[in-house]
Structure 1
Amino acid sequence: MINPAKSKEDLDLSYLKEMSGDSAEFMIEMLDTLVEQIPVYLEDLQKAVDAKDWKAASEFAHKVKPTFYYVGREDIRDYVQLIERNAKEGIDVHNIPKVLAEIKEELKIILQQVGKSKAELQKQL
């Protein structure tokens, strides 16, 4: 499930900080990459779901899942994991389009949060 409280908070970039050695420049590059990649991955996932290609859907969900962890959105990562598992096992696949729609809607908020975090990081340069 999506945690509505996380939608109102700043992103938790502690994982990126640790991974980058607290390099603002590296963190900005990673955030830029996430902004570019997540929508593409989710679009690939959407196409697989629309085609009811559950094997591909599981694979695309697996590919996008860790990106949400990088920005402290474990709630979304876990929700994507639900898609991955259910698609792989053929369980409750009729719910996958609804779950994916919720994730894509939350992505709009996440991208705003990324923009705010990036602006804060740019002040450190």
Structure 2
Amino acid sequence: MDNNQIIIDLSYLREVASENTEFMVEMIDIFLDQTPGYLSSLNDAIESKNWQKIAESAHKIKPTLGFMGIESARETMAEIELNASKQEDFENIVLKYNQMQEVFKTIFIKLEEKKQELLAQDN
């Protein structure tokens, strides 16, 4: 997945928030605050090859990506979760996770930009 192709579509969040900018910013802040911890748990689970923890961590990350409208990354997390729950294709899990580490750096930057845009609109 090319980082330039990462699309963040906040239309679902906008709908849930009923266009409430303050709520949208709060949700982005929560995502930016919590997701690194989830990724760290996923990393630890992969390092210890704990199938159940890998599946649980991917499962926690997946809906937040959907909520932020980052469909491509949500699909990758779903794939990691599925492989882990079936206890198969560990190499693919590692490969996808390594790709996602770079993707998340871009996601965090782009969400921070979206947040600044929202804050600028609100003033």
Structure 1 length as normaliser, TM-score? 0.91
Matches of 1:115 and 1:5, distance apart in 2 = 16
Residue deviations 1:35-84, cap 9 Å, x none?
Answer: 01111101101100100000111011101101111222111000001100
Q: 1:98 and 2:87 equivalent?
A: no
Q: What does residue 50 of structure 2 align with?
A: 53
Matches of 2:101 and 2:16, distance apart in 1 = 26
Q: What does residue 118 of structure 2 align with?
A: 121
4+ residue runs of structure 1 moved beyond 4 angstroms? none
Matches of 1:62 and 1:110, distance apart in 2 = 18
Matches of 1:76 and 1:41, distance apart in 2 = 14
2:66 corresponds to which of 50, 69, 76: 69
Number of residues paired by the alignment? 122
Asked if 2 retains the 8 angstrom alpha-carbon contact of 1:6 and 1:73, the reply is: no
* Unmatched segments (≥5 aa) in structure 2: none
CA RMSD of aligned residues (A): 1.3
Asked if 1 retains the 8 angstrom alpha-carbon contact of 2:45 and 2:54, the reply is: yes
What does 1:3-18 correspond to in 2, within 5 Å? Answer: 4=3, 6-7=5-6, 9=7, 11-18=8-15
Matches of 1:25 and 1:4, distance apart in 2 = 28
Query: What SS does structure 2 have at the residue aligned with 1:124?
Result: helix
Q: What does residue 40 of structure 1 align with?
A: 37
Matches of 1:14 and 1:6, distance apart in 2 = 18
Q: AA paired with 2:16?
A: M
* Unmatched segments (≥5 aa) in structure 1: none
Structure 2 length as normaliser, TM-score? 0.93
Q: AA paired with 1:30?
A: M
Residue deviations 1:71-109, cap 9 Å, x none?
Answer: 221110000011000001012112211210111110011
